[in-house]
Structure 1
Amino acid sequence: MRIGELAKITGLAPSRIRFYEASGLIRSVDRKANGYRDYADEIVWVLEMITTAQTAGFSLEEIRSLLPINSTGWLHDELLLSLKRKIEEIEALELRLACNKKQLFMVVESIESKPDGMPCIENTQQVLDRLREGMVLGKECAK
């Protein structure tokens, strides 16, 4: 199939498909006498795997290592290891984001509950002191 058909089926821009080809993520295809690329039907699922993996947070280099080598198939153990490692990375990111969210809620609460008459600079210092104390004592994500 031509690149236009492939783009329509996958929802990817032709330039993105050419980029994946130039990057070695999909096999280069020969051009026909008329200059058009002719892609095999299986390239659709390869492109879908690439875009799904990118959405899940895999880099192009990581994706390259996940794809089946030539047509010999998957490296099963390496694939599972990479997927489990990505899950661990996502879980660590979720913990950091939850911590960041908790700290931001604390800052918002501190700003909203500033005593009347307290200068903003003094309240700012108190907020910063609470943040530092939480970080030093490892309490930033406690509770």
Structure 2
Amino acid sequence: MVTALRCRVGLELDFWRSSAALRLCVSPSYRLRTDRGDDDMTYFDTEEGAALKSAFDEIVLDWPAVTATTMFGCPSYQAEGTLFAVLVTDGVALTRLPADHRERVAQTFEVGPFRAGERTVTKWVQITVEAGSELDSLIPHIEASYESALEETN
């Protein structure tokens, strides 16, 4: 059971059996704390993921209709309001990747579903990459996810 949720934007929600409280906080990254004593889980560390974010921004922010936002405490990218990519510290989750691209990505990269705590988003492909060296070879797949997002909005 989740007992607290900290967002990079500075909100913290604490949950009790039947009530919730909202208070302001400052947190460098998105973390989930559980009542089982687990360590905090971080999806995007702003320091460790800085090079990846910079390289990714350079690739996608000039594309038409792309906006950057934060979701799950991670840098996230939308095409006309439809999410197509989410950065995690050591990679990227492509949220609208077509099946043929999924197969090619799985042959070349370490992949898996996007996990947020105990929740798994199997439709999203999370790809482990090193900022500069592997990101360039992912561009066709990032574009495919972007184009699929655009198609959904039309």
Please give the TM-score of this superposition, normalised by the length of structure 1: 0.31
Q: Pick the structure with more strand per residue.
A: 2
Structure of larger gyration radius: 1
Please give the TM-score of this superposition, normalised by the length of structure 2: 0.29
Q: Pick the structure with more helix per residue.
A: 1
